[in-house]
Amino acid sequence: MNQSIGQARDRARALYEARAKRVPIAPFTDQDPSLDMADGYAVQQELTAMLLADGEAVVGYKAGLTSAPMQQMFGVDTPDYGPVFASTVLANGSIVSTEAFIAPKVEAEIVFRLGSPLRGPGVTTGQARAAVAEVMAGLEIVDSRIEDWRIRLADTVADLASNGAVVLGTPLPVDPAVDYRLLGMAFSRGGTLVATGAGAAALGDPAAVVAWLANTLGEHGTVLEAGQLIMTGALHAAVPLSAGDAFIAEFDRLGAVTLAVDEP
């Protein structure tokens, strides 16, 4: 790690204030380009502790950088992760305001809810699939507390993997006969198709994302608990969110999930 505990805490405080004030900060990697993924997670841990002290609750985890193009962009060969907080989970059809975010974008993805705990390392994709109880369509709002999305790997990891909020569709029981790699998705803004995707865009198999999370967190003594949400990663490039927008992601078998944005 290339920073002290004090530096990690100071950087977490800067992100905490940026979240509270909706005012972005300069990338940490501008000052110190040597910061790496481990440094980012050290900041993330400190920031999570601050938010938990405010009364937040972790209800699951989100995975990012689960597609090959995103990993290539950041020069890594592994996803990243961040906590999902209770206050950021929204119902299908929710209306949000751009004033709640700094520079929001939207991504469609498959979301799982665990029916039994997973303790890594050593969890296989098959074991992860068997532990999932429910599946639903999701729209993730990603947001960056870093100016103009000028993020390098350490910046986005520190910033809770750029989490903003998630809108969840109708939860459905997992069907063992369904191959979620092959689930197709059409994503539209204002009635115009802007992206398509399939489950396999998320690490080749959304269940593999669950296994990866269980194993990665397990190395640090954290267990994925029954009832937790697992956001498996975007199936397409993120789309900017603006006032007046209306988004719908239509998934094969999972149905649709919608999100509207308040006019100013």
The least confident of 59-73, 75-89, 121-135, 190-204 is 59-73
Confidence of residue 204 (pLDDT cuts 50, 70, 90): very high
Confidence of residue 31 (pLDDT cuts 50, 70, 90): very high
Q: What φ, ψ does residue 173 adopt, rounded to 5°?
A: -60, 140
Partnered with residue 95 across adjacent β-strands are: 260
Confidence of residue 187 (pLDDT cuts 50, 70, 90): very high
Contact 138, 108 (CB under 8 A): yes
Return the amino acid letter for 257. V
Average pLDDT over residues 233-240: 93
**What's the pLDDT tens digit per position in 47-89?**
999 999 999 999 999 999 887 767 776 777 788 999 999 999 9
Distances from the Cα of 108 to the Cα of 14, 72, 194, 197, angstroms: 29, 20, 11, 9
Reduced to 3 states (helix: H, G, I; strand: E, B; else coil), residue 120 is coil
Residue of 80, 41, 36, 39 lying closest to 61 (CA atoms): 80
Average pLDDT over residues 1-7: 88
Distance separating alpha carbons of residues 236 and 228, to the nearest angstrom: 24
The domain segmentation of the chain, as residue ranges, is 59-261
Contact 143, 102 (CB under 8 A): yes
- Considering the chain, what percentage of its residues have pLDDT values greater than 90? 89
Burial of 54 (0-12, 13-18, 19+ CB in 10 A): exposed
- Show the DSSP H helices in 91-152 as ranges: 125-131
The more confidently predicted of residues 134 and 64 is 134
**pTM, full prediction:** 0.95
Q: Which pLDDT score, from 0 to 100, does residue 24 have?
A: 97
Q: Which pLDDT score, from 0 to 100, does residue 76 have?
A: 72
Confidence of residue 263 (pLDDT cuts 50, 70, 90): confident
Q: Which pLDDT score, from 0 to 100, does residue 220 have?
A: 87
Q: Which pLDDT score, from 0 to 100, does residue 92 have?
A: 98
**From 3.90.850.10, 3.30.420.40, 1.10.150.120, 3.30.9.10, which CATH number describes the 59-261 domain?**
3.90.850.10
Q: Which pLDDT score, from 0 to 100, does residue 72 have?
A: 74
Q: Which pLDDT score, from 0 to 100, does residue 84 have?
A: 98
Average pLDDT over residues 23-44: 95
pLDDT of 143 higher than 90: yes
Residue of 60, 29, 30, 36 lying closest to 163 (CA atoms): 60
Q: Which pLDDT score, from 0 to 100, does residue 112 have?
A: 98
SS3 readout for 195-240: EEEEHHHCCCCHHHHHHHHHHHHHCCCCCECCCCEEECCCCCCCEE
